[in-house]
Amino acid sequence: MSGLMMVVLNFATLLYYDPAYLIEKEGAGGPPQWVYFTWAAGLFIYQSFDAIDGKQARRTGMAGPLGELFDHGCDALNTTLEVVLCCRALGIGRSWWTVASQIATLANFYLTTWEEYYTGQLYLGFFSGPVEGILMIVGIYVITGLYGTPFWDTPVLTFLGLENVPQIAKYVPNKGLNEAFLVFGVVGLAFNIATSYVNVFNARREKKQSPFRPLLYLLPFPASAAIQVFWLMSPSFNQSAIINSPLFIPFLCAWGLQFAHQVGRMILAHVTKQSFPWGDALWVWSILGALDANLPLLLNRPPLVQHNQHNIGVVVVVTLGISLVSYARFCTLVIGDITNYLGIACFTVRKKDLSGKWRRAGSVDKIMVGKKQ
């Protein structure tokens, strides 16, 4: 939780210096370059705390389902925040590239959670998001801090000195380093999809269960992503009323909170051995928002609510509020149920006394000392 607060602080600096989420080539001043070094430090601290908390939980004997839910919940929230921050550092800003980054990053997280649900283990490949992925983003922040966001607009072949090599220039588009980086991410996602399915396939075969049925449970993610993309396409793909406005960040945050709720329910189902959750009630709100915004396309009539930029802003902010309240309520209920059932505390280290009950660590130590005397 402390590590996530470092990332939230990074996000707060973005909102302070660039609330409109514009980039330099669009005329924005942007954050000072030293800010990117703080983003690198904050993310590195987050990764370090993420690794330390598991060891601390095992050392104190408090490792359990609540810790797993906390760990994955923080990671789910961090995913969207880092997409917003990283795309700003890459000089992408308000664009469909940022949307593609959001989809690819969330898809990778969903895939890992889906894999853990069916295998009972968290596999980390040779290039994993929690380790190598985070270190790569830290490197991006450091480079941006040194050279600024325009560095990432440098064509990749020019950067490599290959733009004058006909055999390469003929077949490889000379796109910017930022776009090449995102393409690399998509290739990595494709590899992770194949690896995750192989792990699930083997686990299901060992249990003599259908190795193909789990594929159906990948559908909730593309379904939820399609709803958000359809909403963003209003009034058209090239003239999105949300992407091309300061509403883009609130929309992405609402999307991220809904995703955190979605995977949170998956993790809860995993640790409690419940059935896989298919949908989410928040989808209804997002579907209504997407349908209303796209009424001109669907029925050739103006939207009922989102017929001007002010109303679009109201709907997006309300969506963010509903998503935040819904996820906060989910977390509160889950934490309350688990702590009450297990007799543990959420943010307090406890130990088991001689009867096996969880008590404050200090009181247990006093009892043990008294017994020895």
Catalytic residue set: 72
- Other beta carbons within 10 angstroms of residue 123's beta carbon come to 15
Nearest to 358 by CA among 342, 347, 346, 334: 342
Look at strands 350-352 and 358-360 and give their pairing: antiparallel
Nearest to 292 by CA among 306, 279, 280: 306
Identify the three-state secondary structure at position 96: helix
Measured CA to CA in angstroms, residue 47 lies from 122, 123, 245, 285, 371 at distances of 17, 17, 32, 34, 41
Name 360's bridge partners. Answer: 350
CB 93 within 8 A of CB 24: no
The DSSP call for residue 218 is G
Name 358's bridge partners. Answer: 352
CB 176 within 8 A of CB 155: yes
Angle at CA 174, nearest 5°, toward 169 and 176? Answer: 160
Q: Is the peptide bond before 235 cis (omega within 30 degrees of 0)?
A: yes
